[in-house]
A = this chain, B = another copy of it.
Amino acid sequence: MKKFINHVDDFLVETLSGFASAHSDLTALNLQPTYLERKVLTPGKVALVSGGGSGHEPLHIGFIGRGMLDAACPGEVFTSPTPDQMMAAAQAVDTGAGVLFIVKNYSGDLINFEMASDMSNLATATVLINDDVAVENSRYTTGRRGLAGTVIVQKLVGSLAETGADLEHCKAFGDRVNKNTASMGVALTSCIVPEAGTTTFEIGDDEVEIGVGIHGEPGRRRDKLMSADAITAELLEAICNDLQPAQGSEVLLVVNGLGATPLSELYLLFNCAQKWLDKKGLSVSRSLVGNYTTALEMAGASFTLCILDEMTKEHWDSPVHTAALRWGA
């Protein structure tokens, strides 16, 4: 295992400490239980709390700040956070308008967020993200998995919440965005969970895993390495078969790196995707290219499409100030 690490047991705390220290203007780290909270809260705003296993950085900690999350609960690497983390985070950032949990659809996360909801005295609601069209059920899920669509939901609902929208409207908007968002990924290499010390799965030097999950879960099929154009076509075909966007639709296209894929290749994939979508009569009017929902040091990428309308465009374009996403005034 070749990583920048001191002791496996300290990996998470040292990473989170570094993050909180580098972004001390945005967020503060709490330990026992572990969560990061936004430094400046807005009284009366619905609080957005997300979380999940670590190893997907910048998800979720990198999205704490103005226009996105109020708190994030990182579990150990690829391990769900516990209900006490979620409850403590929710209590820390609730300012009276209630708490919206944004949860990727993995069984452990879902159960623990539900438990936190049940145990809490706060008004809570949950948006479940299940944008991965690759497989119906999977190693850690009943139903579809959550991928980089999570970032889109966090950005759009985060923006709506800043306008003073109530919990019910924030949840409804999140559910709608999730429904209009679909993703699929591809892996060239495995990742290595620090606690395990060895690769999560084996893959040949000339193979790709089409539809991989962000913990290295199996996808749809294994194939020989194909051209970037062929990979793009297969992933976007699956995504569009699911989303069924109307001819002429405007879409947000996210090309997300899984951790070890250079930016040059992600932009090359963006170019492939743009050409493919042009031919299908879809218009890429917003885009995001980079590492946003990763799987440790996995080489690979995922595409996400979100069908846009006036409301979603407005909330995508609105100011955001987090460690990993920042624009606007």
**Which residues of A in the span 180-213 have a Cβ within 8 Å of any Cβ on B?**
188-189, 205-206
Interface size class of A (residues with CB under 8 A): 35 or more
A4 touches B263 (CB 8 A): no
Q: With A189-B2, A299-B2 as known contacts, state yes or no: A268 contacts B231, CB within 8 Å.
A: no
Tell whether A63 is near chain B: CB-to-CB under 8 Å. no
Q: How far is the CB of A69 from chain B (nearest CB, A)?
A: 16
Tell whether A314 is near chain B: CB-to-CB under 8 Å. no
Most-contacted residue by chain B among A15, A18, A57, A289 (CB, 10 A) = A18
Number of copies: 2
| Chain B residues, CB < 8 A from A227 | 5-6
Q: How far is the CB of A231 from chain B (nearest CB, A)?
A: 7
Mask: chain A, 1-45; 1 = CB below 8 Å from B; 0 = not:
011111000010011111101100000000000000000000000
A interface residues, Cβ below 8 angstroms from B:
2-6, 11, 14-19, 21-22, 54-55, 57-58, 62, 188-189, 205-206, 225, 227-229, 231, 259-272, 274, 287, 289, 291, 294, 296-297, 299, 301, 326-327, 329
